[in-house]
């Protein structure tokens, strides 16, 4: 995997193209030719086609790489991916730092899900790493004050903000419950998906008025004699 391929200097692009075409290279300072047989996945957040037009990126290298392009929309356009990413990065950095973080506060998850993340997944990952560093207890202590919404993106008053947060939190919990088939506990349960304890989830459900849907009653029809 080669990240930020658009940042390769123009003078090195010809050498990189040769490696792709000839499937061989020599180490820096070495004399032995090394054969390679690889499948390359390259990524960039830059417009390579525009760079080709501006002669900042070689057209032959562009077409060599552009065999099967995949467009990944920005994180703000796929907000449903934010909660699982937050949970994953929290576990990753907590394990690395030997910390025991058992829950992600619902307000934190709501704020993270509503933020527009101009730096996409990398910005989210760095933010969660910083949050884990700052966390002293079993709850993730995220520096939410650092999240600055674009101008005009804030609700007009506190009451509207409170309602919006409650609705967003309720929707977030409902989505996790539906994905877990309304199972609360266990590794695949809603509590694990939300990064909280089962008892915490039950408390949140009671507070937000979330109840398990009851199966529809079946009414037997009897014909008259």
Give residue-wise pLDDT tens across range 41-67: 998 888 888 899 999 999 999 999 988
CA–CA dist 115, 76 (Å, integer): 7
Give residue-wise pLDDT tens across range 148-185: 765 444 444 444 443 345 666 777 788 888 888 899 98
pLDDT confidence of residue 223? 52
CA–CA dist 160, 170 (Å, integer): 15
pLDDT confidence of residue 96? 93
Residues of the chain with pLDDT under 50: 151-164, 217-219, 225
Mean pLDDT for all residues in the chain: 83
pLDDT confidence of residue 157? 43
| CB 87 within 8 Å of CB 104 | yes
Q: In 3-state terms, what secondary structure has residue 17?
A: helix
With 0-12 / 13-18 / 19 or more C-beta atoms within 10 angstroms meaning exposed / middle / buried, residue 92 is middle
pLDDT confidence of residue 161? 40
| CB 191 within 8 Å of CB 198 | yes
| CB 77 within 8 Å of CB 64 | no
Q: What angle do CA 20, 25, 29 make, to 5 degrees?
A: 145
């Amino acid at each position: 995997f080669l990240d930020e391929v658009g940042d390769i200097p123009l003078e090195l692009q010809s050498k990189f193209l040769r490696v792709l075409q000839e499937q061989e290279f020599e180490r820096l300072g070495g004399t032995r030719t090394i054969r390679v047989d690889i499948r390359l996945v390259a990524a960039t957040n830059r417009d390579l086609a525009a760079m080709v037009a501006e002669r900042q990126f070689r057209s032959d290298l562009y077409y060599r790489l552009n065999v099967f392009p995949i467009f990944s929309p920005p994180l703000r356009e796929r907000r449903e991916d934010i909660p699982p990413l937050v949970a994953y990065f929290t576990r990753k950095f907590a394990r690395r730092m030997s910390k025991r973080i058992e829950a992600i506060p619902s307000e934190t998850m709501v704020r993270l899900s509503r933020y527009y993340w101009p730096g996409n997944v990398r910005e989210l990952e760095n933010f969660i790493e910083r949050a884990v560093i700052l966390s002293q207890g079993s709850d993730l202590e995220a520096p939410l004050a650092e999240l600055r919404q674009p101008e005009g993106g804030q609700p007009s008053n506190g009451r509207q903000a409170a309602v919006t947060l409650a609705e967003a939190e309720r929707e977030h919990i409902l989505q996790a419950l539906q994905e877990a088939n309304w199972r609360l506990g266990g590794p695949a349960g809603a509590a694990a998906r939300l990064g909280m304890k089962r008892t915490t989830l039950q408390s949140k459900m009671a507070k937000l008025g979330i109840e398990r849907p009851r199966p529809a009653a079946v009414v037997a029809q009897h014909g008259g004699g």
